Amino acid sequence: MVSCSTKTEEKPDIVVDIKVSKQGYQPNEITVPYGKVVLFRITAVDEGIGNDYSERYYGHCFYILPPYDVMVENIKEGETKEIKVKMIYPGDFIFTCPYCSGIFPTKGTLHVVKR
Protein backbone atom coordinates (compact mmCIF):
# COMPACT_ATOMS: atom_id res chain seq x y z
CA MET A 1 0.00 0.00 0.00
CA VAL A 2 1.32 3.42 -0.95
CA SER A 3 0.76 6.09 1.62
CA CYS A 4 1.91 9.63 2.14
CA SER A 5 0.70 9.55 5.73
CA THR A 6 2.94 10.78 8.51
CA LYS A 7 1.77 7.86 10.62
CA THR A 8 4.64 5.42 11.11
CA GLU A 9 5.51 2.07 12.63
CA GLU A 10 9.08 3.16 13.37
CA LYS A 11 10.41 3.01 16.89
CA PRO A 12 9.51 6.18 18.79
CA ASP A 13 12.19 8.66 19.88
CA ILE A 14 9.87 10.49 22.26
CA VAL A 15 6.67 9.73 24.16
CA VAL A 16 4.10 12.46 24.73
CA ASP A 17 1.25 11.79 27.16
CA ILE A 18 -1.89 13.84 26.67
CA LYS A 19 -5.14 13.91 28.58
CA VAL A 20 -8.34 15.04 26.92
CA SER A 21 -11.55 16.08 28.62
CA LYS A 22 -14.34 18.61 28.16
CA GLN A 23 -11.86 21.07 29.72
CA GLY A 24 -9.59 20.56 26.70
CA TYR A 25 -6.23 18.91 26.18
CA GLN A 26 -3.64 18.76 28.92
CA PRO A 27 -1.09 19.88 27.85
CA ASN A 28 -2.48 21.98 25.01
CA GLU A 29 0.92 23.30 23.95
CA ILE A 30 3.35 20.59 22.87
CA THR A 31 6.84 21.07 21.48
CA VAL A 32 8.60 18.21 19.68
CA PRO A 33 11.76 18.09 17.59
CA TYR A 34 11.58 18.01 13.82
CA GLY A 35 12.56 14.72 12.17
CA LYS A 36 11.82 12.52 15.18
CA VAL A 37 9.18 9.85 15.70
CA VAL A 38 6.76 10.78 18.45
CA LEU A 39 4.48 8.32 20.21
CA PHE A 40 1.38 10.20 21.32
CA ARG A 41 -0.59 8.48 24.10
CA ILE A 42 -3.97 10.08 24.48
CA THR A 43 -6.15 9.34 27.49
CA ALA A 44 -9.80 10.38 27.63
CA VAL A 45 -10.65 11.58 31.12
CA ASP A 46 -14.39 11.84 30.52
CA GLU A 47 -17.04 10.58 28.11
CA GLY A 48 -16.64 13.40 25.58
CA ILE A 49 -19.56 13.41 23.15
CA GLY A 50 -21.01 10.34 24.81
CA ASN A 51 -20.45 6.80 25.97
CA ASP A 52 -22.93 4.96 23.79
CA TYR A 53 -20.45 2.61 22.14
CA SER A 54 -23.06 1.36 19.67
CA GLU A 55 -22.90 4.80 18.00
CA ARG A 56 -20.49 5.56 15.17
CA TYR A 57 -18.80 8.29 17.26
CA TYR A 58 -18.20 8.37 20.99
CA GLY A 59 -15.66 9.60 23.48
CA HIS A 60 -12.94 11.94 22.33
CA CYS A 61 -10.61 12.21 19.41
CA PHE A 62 -7.08 13.39 18.69
CA TYR A 63 -6.65 14.90 15.28
CA ILE A 64 -3.56 16.74 14.04
CA LEU A 65 -4.62 18.87 11.10
CA PRO A 66 -2.95 18.67 7.68
CA PRO A 67 -0.29 18.33 6.53
CA TYR A 68 0.01 15.80 9.37
CA ASP A 69 -3.59 14.69 9.02
CA VAL A 70 -3.48 11.91 11.59
CA MET A 71 -6.45 10.95 13.71
CA VAL A 72 -7.16 8.78 16.70
CA GLU A 73 -10.90 8.24 16.95
CA ASN A 74 -13.33 7.06 19.59
CA ILE A 75 -11.24 7.20 22.75
CA LYS A 76 -13.50 5.92 25.51
CA GLU A 77 -13.58 7.41 28.99
CA GLY A 78 -10.59 6.02 30.88
CA GLU A 79 -9.02 4.56 27.75
CA THR A 80 -5.60 5.39 26.31
CA LYS A 81 -4.96 5.15 22.59
CA GLU A 82 -1.63 5.56 20.83
CA ILE A 83 -0.38 6.84 17.53
CA LYS A 84 3.14 7.23 16.21
CA VAL A 85 3.85 10.18 13.99
CA LYS A 86 7.01 11.18 12.19
CA MET A 87 7.56 14.91 12.55
CA ILE A 88 8.45 15.66 8.94
CA TYR A 89 6.90 19.14 8.77
CA PRO A 90 8.39 21.94 10.87
CA GLY A 91 6.09 24.66 12.16
CA ASP A 92 2.99 25.09 14.29
CA PHE A 93 0.01 22.80 13.84
CA ILE A 94 -3.40 22.63 15.44
CA PHE A 95 -4.64 19.47 17.08
CA THR A 96 -8.26 19.10 18.01
CA CYS A 97 -11.18 16.82 18.74
CA PRO A 98 -13.50 17.08 15.73
CA TYR A 99 -16.27 15.52 17.81
CA CYS A 100 -16.54 18.14 20.49
CA SER A 101 -14.36 21.15 19.65
CA GLY A 102 -17.49 23.04 18.62
CA ILE A 103 -18.77 22.77 22.19
CA PHE A 104 -15.66 22.36 24.35
CA PRO A 105 -12.19 23.97 24.17
CA THR A 106 -10.57 20.79 22.85
CA LYS A 107 -7.87 22.43 20.83
CA GLY A 108 -4.12 22.74 21.13
CA THR A 109 -0.94 23.60 19.27
CA LEU A 110 1.87 21.28 18.28
CA HIS A 111 5.19 23.02 17.71
CA VAL A 112 7.63 21.07 15.55
CA VAL A 113 10.98 22.76 15.95
CA LYS A 114 14.27 22.38 14.13
CA ARG A 115 17.18 22.34 16.56
The verdict on 106 binding Cu ion (CB under 5 A) reads yes
- Taking the C-alpha atoms of residue 62 and residue 5, their distance in angstroms, rounded to an integer, is 16
Total residues in contact with Cu ion, by rule CB under 5 A: 6
We find the least distance from the C-beta atom of residue 93 to Cu ion, in angstroms, to be 18
Residue 19, CA atoms < 13 Å, CB-side half-sphere: 7
- Taking the C-alpha atoms of residue 86 and residue 106, their distance in angstroms, rounded to an integer, is 23
x-marked contacts with Cu ion along 61-90 as a string, rule CB under 5 A: ------------------------------
Q: Specify the residue, 62 or 93, whose C-beta has the smaller distance to Cu ion.
A: 62
Q: Which residues pair with 10 in a beta bridge?
A: none
